[in-house]
């Protein structure tokens, strides 16, 4: 039995984030470990490509040095 999150994985494999679909937003917030607000800010800043959003979020992380 698959979870709802796993069912969204095929859409995720396309490499872009669709903010118009609640299930897609839920998938990406859980997968990336960020809030919906942070996801929307990242997409507004760098676009819908997953790797661009991941890079943006990495830059936003507080420095541990």
Q: Is the pLDDT of residue 40 over 70?
A: yes
Report which of residues 23 and 5 the model is more confident about.
23
- The domain of 39 spans 4-60
pLDDT on residue 1: 46
pLDDT single digits (tens) 21-38: 999 999 999 999 999 999
Do residues 15 and 4 lie in contact, with contact meaning Cβ atoms separated by under 8 Å? no
Q: What is the DSSP string of 11-35?
A: HHTTSB--TT-HHHHHHHHHHHT--
Q: Which residue's entry shows tokens 């819908």? A: 48
Is residue 65, in this structure, part of any structural domain at all?
no
Q: What is the tally of structural domains in the chain?
A: 1
Residue 49, strand partner residues: 16
Burial class (CB in 10 A: 0-12, 13-18, 19+), 53: buried
Q: Is the pLDDT of residue 2 over 90?
A: no
């Amino acid at each position: 039995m698959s979870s709802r999150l796993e069912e969204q994985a095929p859409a995720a494999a396309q490499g872009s984030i669709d903010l118009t679909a609640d299930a897609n937003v839920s998938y990406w917030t859980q997968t990336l470990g960020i809030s919906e607000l942070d996801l929307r800010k990242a997409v507004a800043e760098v676009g819908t490509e997953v790797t661009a959003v991941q890079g943006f979020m990495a830059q936003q992380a507080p420095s541990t040095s």
